Structure 1
Amino acid sequence: MSDGVPGIDVPDRRGRTGLDRAGLDLTGNPRVRVREVELLASSWYVLRRTTFDYLRADGTWSVEERETYDRGNGATVLLYDAGRGTVLLTRQFRYPVYANGHPDGMLLETAAGLLDDDDPETAIRREAAEETGYEIGEVRHVFDVYMSPGSVTERVHFFAAPYRADRRAGEGGGLAGEGEDIEVVELPFAEALEMVASGEIADAKSIMLLQWAALSGPFAGRGR
């Protein structure tokens, strides 16, 4: 039996090694000198503790320590029907929000998922089909966002795309093998905006895309 450490010198459950090397080669910011990276966990996603020297604004150096959670990058898409004035969202159980005060953990969200080994557009087409059952046509890139930059490395790529009822190729619902049990929810756009104001829609990526759609997207000037 190997005496190695999973994720460092022997593969972890996802076949990864060298996870303690991330960040050691960063050179883009001369005010930051990474000293050490400690792998804390790599059961599925990766938790690291990094120690680095930081040059403060007053010219002194300090030693800082940060924990970062690396779950990979993701993509999300707002599916809309401008003619009918509707958007297509999903509802699913999210344990972390349930544990942090949400009444039942059932969040209304835009379709989303991790990139895995795909480019962002390919990934969001896959996720839209898996979660909603719709095959989408032309997609519009909206922006890229670091959702929780204080601790999570994830960058999310935001898209928008029209959907049509006759382009639904499956039931959606996500992948049961990944523990997904997703409900597809179609809403009038104006009602979705009201649900943001009331707190019924509390997912950051969904709020950002709905507000973009109202300000400069397909529903600009409508729904208020």
Structure 2
Amino acid sequence: MTHGDVDVSKREAVFEGFFKVERLSLRHRLFRGDWSPVFQRELFIRPDATCVLPYDPDRDEVVLIEQFRAGALGREQAPWLLELVAGIHDKDEDPVEVARREAEEEAGLTLGEVEPVLSYLVSPGGSDEFVHLYCGRVDAAGAGGIHGLDEENEDIRVHVMPAQQAIDLIGTTRVNNAAALITLQWFAAHRSALRQKWLGQ
């Protein structure tokens, strides 16, 4: 199946605020060969995003950030989450440049080498959001404090921790968002090779 096996007959904006929602009227080819009836789907529209795990191979430390997330309201956990540095792309912006910009804005860090992890669709049943994941080399000495842009209502606390402590957060409620879990799992598997690559050991 390809894009040619989908026929979108109508696309209309049903909400436009901080985010955007569109309603699609469409049909698609079925596995048996004929076409589905026309049906509707609401789609959460969001630009691509990039997330990066800052890692200091010399100190074997990682940097995570903590901030308020409205999507966690109503859950048993507090709505302040430990996350990766992350940001939404401006039009035609390169993912690595987003990683570098957001590392400065959200954590006061300058990225050196950047290692790609993977890219994925966040929730394709209802959103077109696509996320790029990276691990970026930093000097974590002196990292910390409160960061973020006032005009974006950001209030971000920076946490520096030993790499193994961050890995041990996998499977806990302290880190339970997809981008951080995926990247920390990747980091756990590639940490030794990454240190060897970046330190030349």
Quickly name the TM-score band, shorter chain normalised.
0.7 to 0.9
Indicate the percent of aligned positions where both proteins have the same amino acid: 33
Tell me the alpha carbon deviations over residues 156-213 of structure 1, each in whole angstroms, 9 at most, x when there is no partner.
Answer: 1111111114686x95611011110000001112111222222211111011111111
Query: Is structure 2 residue 188 aligned with structure 1 residue 214?
Result: yes
TM-score, with structure 1 as normaliser: 0.79
Q: 1:43 to 1:192 in 2, by over 3 A?
A: same
2:121 maps to what in 1? Answer: 146
Q: 1:220 to 1:98 in 2, by over 3 A?
A: farther
Higher Cα Rg: structure 1 or 2?
Answer: 1
- Give, in whole Å, the separation in 1 of the partners of 2:115 and 2:70: 31
SS at match of 2:169: helix
Unmatched segments (≥5 aa) in structure 2 = 196-201
Unmatched segments (≥5 aa) in structure 1 = 1-27
- Give, in whole Å, the separation in 2 of the partners of 1:208 and 1:192: 13
- Give, in whole Å, the separation in 1 of the partners of 2:113 and 2:57: 14
Match 1:90 to one of 44, 50, 65 = 65
SS at match of 2:100: helix
Query: Is structure 2 residue 91 aligned with structure 1 residue 124?
Result: no
Structure-to-structure mapping, 1:25-174, within 5 angstroms: 28-62=2-36, 63-99=38-74, 101-117=75-91, 118-165=93-140, 173-174=147-148
Q: 1:130 to 1:192 in 2, by over 3 A?
A: same
Structure number having the greater strand percentage = 2
1:4 maps to what in 2? Answer: none
What number of residue pairs does the alignment pair up? Answer: 193
- Give, in whole Å, the separation in 1 of the partners of 2:119 and 2:86: 13
- Give, in whole Å, the separation in 1 of the partners of 2:127 and 2:22: 10
- Give, in whole Å, the separation in 2 of the partners of 1:198 and 1:57: 40
1:12 maps to what in 2? Answer: none
Contact 1:114 1:123 survives alignment (8 Å) = yes
Instruction: Give the superposition deviation at 1:135.
Output: 1.0
- Give, in whole Å, the separation in 1 of the partners of 2:131 and 2:146: 22
AA partner of residue 79 (structure 2): G
- Give, in whole Å, the separation in 2 of the partners of 1:182 and 1:43: 23
Instruction: Give the superposition deviation at 1:60.
Output: 3.1
1:175 maps to what in 2? Answer: 149
Query: Is structure 2 residue 141 aligned with structure 1 residue 192?
Result: no
- Give, in whole Å, the separation in 2 of the partners of 1:55 and 1:35: 14
SS at match of 2:147: coil
SS at match of 1:30: helix
- Give, in whole Å, the separation in 1 of the partners of 2:112 and 2:78: 34
2:198 maps to what in 1? Answer: none
